[in-house]
Amino acid sequence: MTRPLANDLYGRHRAVLPDWLALYYDEPIEITHGEGRHVWDAAGNRYLDFFGGILTTMTAHALPEVTKAVSEQAGRIIHSSTLYLNRPMVELAERIAALSGIPDARVFFTTSGTEANDTALMLATAYRGSNQILAMRNSYHGRSFSTVSITGNRGWSPTGLSPLQTLYVHGGVRNRGPYAGLTDERFIEACVADLEDLLGHTRTPAALIAEPVQGVGGFTAPPDGLYAAFREVLDRHGILWISDEVQTGWGRTGEHFWGWQAHGENGPPDILTFAKGIGNGMSIGGVVARADIMNCLDANSISTFGGSPVTMAAGLANLSYLLEHDLQGNARRVGGLLIERLRAIGAGVDSVREVRGRGLMIGIELIKPSTGQAAPGTASAVLEAAREGGLLIGKGGGHNTSVLRIAPPLSLTVAEAEEGAAILEQALRGA
C-alpha cells in the first residue's frame, strides 16, 4: 500500500471547515471512486470497503441499477419540492409503508437520519403534549439541537442545553454497567424494573427512542425481547415507542429486515425512522408512523429537498435490487461466517474483549489487557494498520471509541469477507 499523494487538500480542508469535523487517519485520504465493495483514493490505492461511508453504501459502490435510475431521473427533472405531486416519492412511500409493519402507515421523507429523528421527536411531543423523552444510555441519534439533547454518549453531545427533558434508561449495553453479570432473562427484568421506577418519579414522557443496535455506541445491543418488555410498560402509560432504524434497517442485521423485529412480540413501533442505506449514498431519510400520529400536527409544513425526485428514484432502484437479490439473506450468511472468523481471531488476541454483532453489523471491542480498560489508542492503531493493508473500517463505542465497526455493503462475497478478516487479523496482531 503506497502512502497518499502529497497535496494541499488537507490544508485547504483545515482552512475552511470546522475543527470539529472529524477525519480518519493520520494522513487523511481522498476517496475518488468505487465499484462493488472497493474504493480507490487519489493516490490510486485500492481498498476493500468494510464501512460503506458509515453504513450508507448498502448494496454496492456504483451499482448500475442505481446510477442508471439517478441519471434517467436527472435527465427529466431534478427538483420540484413537496409542493407538487411526485411519482417516485409516492411509489417509494408505498413500498416503505408496506415493509414497515406499521398499520395505516404514513411516510415523511427527509434528507438525513438526524432530520428523521428530529421529525419523530416533534411528532411524538406534539401528539402526547409532553417535552419529556426517554432515551437509552450510550445512544446516538444525530447532530441537530434536539437529537444531540437525547444522545446518551458524551463524545457526541457537545452541549447540555436542550429543548427537551431527557431521562436515560438502562438496557442498550449488555456487557457493561450494573446488570452486566445477570442472565439475559434477569437483565431484562432489571431493566424493566428500572424503567418502572423511573416512571414513578416523573411526569409521563412522550416517547422512548431507541436504536435496536446502537451504532455509534459500538454496535451494542440488549438481549432479544427487551424492547417488547419495555413496550408493555410504555403502553400502560400511553408512551410512544420510536425505533431508530437509521443503521439497523433494510436487512443489515441478517435475521430481520428491521431491528425492532428482534423485539416484536408486541407489534411494531409507533414511529420508525430510517436513512443511510436506502439511498445507497443519496441523501434519503424518513419517518414512518401511524396516520393519527403523523397527521397530528396543526400547522402547515413542506420539505424543500426531502423526497427529491432524484433521490427517490435512487431509493426505489436500490430497494428493488436489495429485495430481488436477497441481500438480507446474504448479510445473514456471509455475516455469520465473518463473525465466526473474527471471533476465532479475537480468541488469540489479548486486546480483543468481545466480537459482537448480527449480519453485516459487527463490532470488535478492544481493551488494555493489563487493566481491562477501554483502549482507544489501540483502536486507532488498528484502524491505521487496516488501511495500510487495504481495508477501510470504522470505530465507535461509548468508552472513548475503543470499538472497531465493521459494516460492508450487503453484497459482500465470502472471498471478500475472508480477505478482510485476514487483513484485520494482521492489523490486530500488529497493534
Residue with cell 494541499: 8
pLDDT of 4 above 70: no
- Rounded CA-CA distance 382/117 in Å is 32
At residue 97, the pLDDT reads: 98
Calculate the CA dihedral of residues 89, 92, 95, 96 and round it to 10 degrees.
Answer: -90
pLDDT in tens, 48-78: 999 999 999 999 999 999 999 999 999 999 9
- Rounded CA-CA distance 4/2 in Å is 7
For residues 98-107, average pLDDT = 98
Name the helix (H) or strand (E) containing 330. helix 327-346
3-class DSSP state of 331: helix
- Rounded CA-CA distance 124/200 in Å is 21
37-41, 188-192, 396-400: lowest mean pLDDT where?
396-400
pLDDT of 1 above 90: no
Quote the cell numbers at residue 302: 413542506
For residues 229-233, average pLDDT = 97
What global pTM score does this model have? 0.95
pLDDT in tens, 274-283: 999 999 999 9
Q: What percentage of the chain has pLDDT greater than the value 70?
A: 98
- What mean pLDDT value characterizes the chain? 96
pLDDT of 2 above 70: no
Listed residue (125, 158, 199) closest to 19, CA to CA: 158
Calculate the CA dihedral of residues 137, 143, 147, 148 and round it to 10 degrees.
Answer: 50
Residue with cell 427533558: 165
Query: Which class for 11: exposed (0-12), middle (13-18), buried (19 or more C-beta within 10 A)?
Result: exposed
DSSP string, 50-75: SSHHHHT--S-BT-HHHHHHHHHHHH
- Rounded CA-CA distance 49/51 in Å is 6
Question: Any idea what the Cα angle at residue 362 is, between residues 358 and 368, rounded to 5°?
Answer: 135
Domains of the chain: 9-62+327-430 (3.90.1150.10), 65-324 (3.40.640.10)
- Rounded CA-CA distance 315/311 in Å is 6
pLDDT in tens, 172-219: 999 989 999 999 999 999 999 999 999 999 999 999 999 999 999 999
pLDDT of 257 above 90: yes
